[in-house]
Chains A and B, each alone.
Chain A
Amino acid sequence: MDSLYGLARLYFWNMKISLQKMMVYRFDFIASLLVSILVSGIGPYVQYLYFTRSNGYPGWTLNEMFLFQGLLLLWLGLRDLLFGDIRGYVIKFIRSGDFDKLLIKPYSPVGVILVSGFSLSGIGPCSAGMVVLLVAWSQLNLTLCWETVVLLIVMFISGLLLYLAIIIMFSAITIMLVQMNGIGLIIDRLLGFADYPVDIFPKAVQTVLLTALPFAVWTFYPTQILLGRSDIGMWVASASSLIVLWISLQCWKRCLHHYTSAGG
């Protein structure tokens, strides 16, 4: 418990330092927030173009797709806000050999890594996501009840656990391979599957996205919950997120055991 409290304090310290670092270059800081909001709007616009130039995706109307896009942006924003800088931090630490320092800190190395990712750049997608979400909400005349709120919270927590699992796995692979440019791109590509509704993929891919890589918890099921279309797969994906987190922690321990210092 003390350890968790200490890590929480460390997270707030890192958050404060990150903010101070961004504020040194104020023009860039303000510009990056504006750019971030602008860039975030591109995804929904591209989807709009696909929908208006074709029949779109089966089982999805344009407004439902906007709802999906709004939730996607909101999720991406929150994810970046909480853990956006971790990948860069891990690569820098391992390549330079500074990772050794984490091994002698009073907290577990994986804990220190997970609390080092605060990035204010997530504000942009969050804001854009809120706007898209509100527009879609009003178009679809959606209502919110307690049951829906509870389910959304469960999905959010599952989503966070799954993302932590991916970061831990990424860090474990980095320890083993050191050079990670290509792997980072691959992870981005894999995460790309989460940018689309799961039910538009073939059955085999759908199964993977509910079990081995349960990306469905991030945006697909929250959208389905709001549209009143959730099913048992939601619980499968949620449980799978926990299992993936456990596997990633085992993988981390194994890789840490084989760690040999790099850089210097």
Chain B
Amino acid sequence: MRMIYQTLLISIKLFIVHPKALVISYVTHPLVLFLNIAIFYTIYDHSNTAMIRGYTLTQIIWYFNIVHMIKILISNNTDHRLSEQILSGELGNVLLRPISLFRFEFFNALTLRVGGLIFEVIPEFLIFTLIYPPLFLDFQSLCKFIPVVFLAFLIYFLISYLVGLSAIITQNNSSMRRLVFTVASILGGGMIPLDFFPTPLRNICEALPFQYIFYIPIQFCLNRDTAAGTDIWLLTLSTQFMWVVVLFGLCLIIWKLLMKRIVVVGG
């Protein structure tokens, strides 16, 4: 607990140490919103329709706002840090710590995101709401969204950790990082709602965990019919939990296998 508290303090200090940059980001972040408003207003106006693929104009604009917020809430640099530690040889020292590498990275990612929630997501949500009110949102949908997005964070962290472990074989895993992040983003609904995909591609997305990072949590926040009802919410939570268990199991197995062949050189 003491370690979580200390890393949380460091994470908060990291955010407030450069207040000018933080203030500028609040002023300029709505640019994302303005860009989305301009583009989708044109598309909807040109199509002369109130709904495209089941999304109203407000919902589609907020879809991308929520993608932006989810990216802040889940992002971690575990994959990059592990590669850097392997390249520099620092991993040797890390393995000697009284806390396991997995737990250390997890607490680090978790506390960093708490800082992201306090200093980025909440202020941005309020600013976005003032500029373009999310008329679809109610208290219930927000309450459903919170645990779903927490499990999305866990899924993404475990994927990042697995990508990080790949550096034990490849040393530099930058291409792997880019590939996985892009695949997660496109097949998870981070670039375009999955409803726009053709059926075969949609079926592939449903067999993968990525849609539980972006697309599914967003459905709850947007209060869409596809996410209505407690049973769907519970089913989503249990499916996300299953993916967490599967990925965690993979992390344990791969860690054990890789520890047999790890060589710490660096320098």
Known: A31-B179, A32-B174. 14 other contacts (CB 8 A): A28-B171, A35-B178, A39-B178, A46-B191, A49-B197, A50-B196, A56-B43, A176-B20, A179-B18, A182-B25, A190-B31, A193-B35, A196-B39, A201-B38
- Find A53's partner among B24, B25, B53, B191 (CB 8 Å cutoff): B53
Residues of chain B within 8 A (CB-CB) of A54 are: 43-44, 46-47, 49, 52
Interface residues of B (CB under 8 A from A): 17-18, 20-22, 24-25, 28-29, 31-32, 35, 38-39, 42-49, 52-53, 170-176, 178-179, 182, 186, 191-192, 196-197
Indicate with 1 or 0, residue by residue over A42-75, a CB within 8 angstroms of chain B CB atoms. Answer: 1000100110011111100000000000000000
Cα separation A35 to B174 with both chains bound (whole Å): 10
Cα separation A55 to B49 with both chains bound (whole Å): 10
**Is A110 close to B, CB under 8 A?**
no
Residues of chain B within 8 A (CB-CB) of A38 are: 179, 182
Q: In terms of DSSP, what is the predominant structure of the interface of chain A?
A: helix
Q: How far is the CB of A28 from chain B (nearest CB, A)?
A: 4
Q: How far is the CB of B196 from chain A (nearest CB, A)?
A: 5
Cβ contact within 8 Å between A35 and B24: no
Cβ contact within 8 Å between A42 and B182: yes
- Find A200's partner among B28, B39, B49 (CB 8 Å cutoff): B39
Cβ contact within 8 Å between A58 and B46: yes
Residues of chain B within 8 A (CB-CB) of A192 are: 31-32, 35
Identify the closest chain A residue to B185 (Cβ): A42
Cα separation A179 to B16 with both chains bound (whole Å): 11
Residues of chain B within 8 A (CB-CB) of A179 are: 17-18, 21
Given contacts A31-B175, A49-B192, contact A200 B21 (CB under 8 A): no
Identify the closest chain B residue to A186 (Cβ): B28
- Find A186's partner among B25, B49, B52 (CB 8 Å cutoff): B25
Interface residues of A (CB under 8 A from B): 24-25, 27-28, 31-32, 34-36, 38-39, 42, 46, 49-50, 53-58, 176-183, 185-186, 189-190, 192-193, 196, 200-202, 205
Q: Closest 5 CB pairs between A and B?
A: A179-B18, A182-B25, A32-B175, A31-B175, A25-B172
Cβ contact within 8 Å between A178 and B18: yes
Cα separation A59 to B46 with both chains bound (whole Å): 10
Cβ contact within 8 Å between A25 and B171: yes
18 contacts between A and B (CB under 8 A): A24-B172, A25-B170, A28-B170, A28-B175, A28-B176, A31-B179, A36-B178, A42-B182, A42-B186, A42-B191, A49-B192, A53-B52, A177-B18, A182-B21, A186-B24, A192-B35, A196-B39, A201-B38
Cβ contact within 8 Å between B46 and A56: yes
Cβ contact within 8 Å between B196 and A53: yes
Q: How far is the CB of B214 from chain A (nearest CB, A)?
A: 14
Cα separation A192 to B20 with both chains bound (whole Å): 23
Cβ contact within 8 Å between A183 and B43: no
Cα separation A98 to B102 with both chains bound (whole Å): 33
Identify the closest chain A residue to B120 (Cβ): A182
Residues of chain B within 8 A (CB-CB) of A55 are: 43, 46-48
Cβ contact within 8 Å between B21 and A180: yes
